[in-house]
Structure 1
Amino acid sequence: MIKGIYEAHLPVKDLENSIDFYRRLGLELAWRDESTAFFWIDKGRSWLGLWEGDEYKTPYHPALRHIAFEVTYEDLKTSVEWLNTLGIKVGPVNPNQPIDPFIRPNQGNGTVYFNDPDGNSLELMCYVEVPEHLRHITNKLSFSEWEEMNK
């Protein structure tokens, strides 16, 4: 029955500024009006809605103001440099997380975090094939640590 997520929404303060930001990330503007814009994440399959209004003042919580975009493993490895070329600062969601991309072996994914201009938490994330004998690792590993373990 359920095939995936078709849309997600984020609150923004300045729609024009946010449209520019998400275009720099490579998303295609699908539709907009005076206070709303939708960007294709996967054209014809999923999109992100941006809604201008005071809701952007809602304090951050991952259940309210967070979205993760799927990327490849190779793209995640170079994501910090790519985001820096776009003038986007990479940073952890909380002080206990690393800034650089990291691998979560127990979850089978890799990730890096950054914010949009309104403080919405964004994440680039990829699936990582984890050998069974490494699935017990709950520590976050840097790419170099992960690749050394998988030689």
Structure 2
Amino acid sequence: MIKGLYEAHLPVSNLENSVEFYKKLGLKLASKKGKVAFFWIVKGESWLGLWENDTVQLKYHPSIRHLAFKIDEEDFEHAKEWLNSIGIEIRTEFGLTAEHQPLVLSNHPHAHAALYFSDPDGNSLELITPLRLDDVEDFNEMSLEEWRKR
């Protein structure tokens, strides 16, 4: 029955600034009307709604202000440099320094490579890809470089 996630929504304080930010990420504007814009993540499969409003300053919690965009594992080779080249700063997470990014998340028994960054309103964004599913021993988060040397 369920085939995937079709849409997600984020609050933004300035729709025009946010539209430009998400265009830099390569998302295609699907529609814009009033204080709402939709971007295709994958046309016909998933999209992102941005809603300009006064409640953007909600305290951050991943359950309400976080999106993870799936990318291919081989794209992690240049994802950090790509984000930096379009003026997007990578956030450090899980106690790992910027040099240790991208990182590998220990979601026992799974492992995922990830990079975290924020949009202009502080919404948490992530690039993520599964590395192994259902067959990974428990481990602490580490850099993708360290993971590949294991």
Q: Same fold (TM over 0.5)?
A: yes
- Other-structure match for 1:41: 41
**SS at 2:74's partner residue?**
helix
Q: Give the 3 Å change call, closer, same or farther, for CA 44–111 of structure 1 in structure 2.
A: same
Partner of 1:54: 54
Residue of structure 2 equivalent to 1:144: 145
Kindly state the Cα deviation for residue 130 of structure 1 after the two structures are TM-superposed.
6.0
**Counterpart-to-counterpart distance in 2, 1:141 and 1:71:** 19
Aligned equivalent of 1:84: 84
Q: Give the TM-score of the pair, scaled to structure 2.
A: 0.90
**How far does the alpha carbon of each residue in 1:12-46 deviate from its partner, in whole angstroms, 9 at most, with x for none?**
00000000000000000001111000000110011
Give the corresponding residue for 1:110.
113
Contact 2:105–2:141 (CA under 8 A) maintained in structure 1 = yes
Q: Structure 1 length as normaliser, TM-score?
A: 0.90
| Counterparts of 1:82 and 1:146, CA distance in 2 | 21
Aligned residues: 146
- More strand by percentage: 2
Q: Is residue 126 from structure 1 mapped to residue 129 from structure 2 by the alignment?
A: yes
Instruction: Output the amino acid matched with 2:95.
Output: N
Identity %: 47
Stretches (4+) displaced over 2 A: 95-99, 104-108, 129-132
Alignment partner of 1:57: what SS?
A: coil
Q: Secondary structure at the match of 1:136?
A: coil
- Over aligned residues, Cα RMSD in angstroms? 1.6
Work out whether residues 12 and 53 of structure 2, in 8 Å CA contact, stay in contact via their aligned partners in 1: yes
Letter in 2 for 1:114: F
8 Å contact from structure 1 (residues 41, 48) kept in 2: yes
Gaps of 5+ in 2: none
Q: Is the 8 A contact 2:96 2:142 kept in 1?
A: no
**Secondary structure, counterpart of 1:144 in structure 2:** helix
> What's the counterpart of residue 96 of structure 1?
95
Instruction: Give the deviation of 1:140 after TM superposition.
Output: 0.9
Structure 1: give runs of 5+ residues left out of the alignment.
Answer: none
CA displacement at 1:77 relative to structure 2: 2.8
User: Residue 77 of structure 1 contacts residue 143 of structure 1 at CA under 8 Å; is this kept in 2?
Assistant: no
